[in-house]
Amino acid sequence: MTHDRADNLIGDPRPLAPVEPDAGDCCGEGCVPCIFDIYEDALVAYRRDLSRWRRRHPDREGAHDAGTGNP
């Protein structure tokens, strides 16, 4: 990897998957949005951002893994 390429990755790190809440994190009060709704929205955004990141960095090792939150 060239120095310029390494500098680009430092300024454009791979997105991090959101942390899935535990079942006990939900209060069960019917909140809108529920913590699980917020997680699902964050997961959609993560997958979108990861897909975009992969297009910008096609030569990165592991750039084509499942994208389910597992790096």
The sign of the dihedral angle between the CA atoms of 55, 58, 64, 67 is negative
Q: What is the pLDDT of residue 71?
A: 47
Number of domains present in the structure of the chain: 1
Residue 23 included in any domain? yes
- For the chain, the average pLDDT equals 83
Asked whether 18 and 42 are in contact (CB, 8 A), the reply is yes
Per-residue pLDDT band for 32 (boundaries 50, 70, 90) equals: very high
Residue 61 included in any domain? no
Q: What is the pLDDT of residue 20?
A: 97
Residue 10 included in any domain? yes
Q: pTM for the complete prediction?
A: 0.71
Q: Where is average pLDDT lowest: 28-37, 38-47, 55-64? A: 55-64
Domain residues for the domain of 47 are 3-56
Residue 33 included in any domain? yes
The mean pLDDT of 62-68, rounded to a whole number, is: 51
The mean pLDDT of 25-31, rounded to a whole number, is: 95
In the three-class reduction of DSSP (H, G, I as helix; E, B as strand; rest coil), residue 42 is classed as: helix
Q: How far apart are CA 70 and CA 34, in angstroms?
A: 23
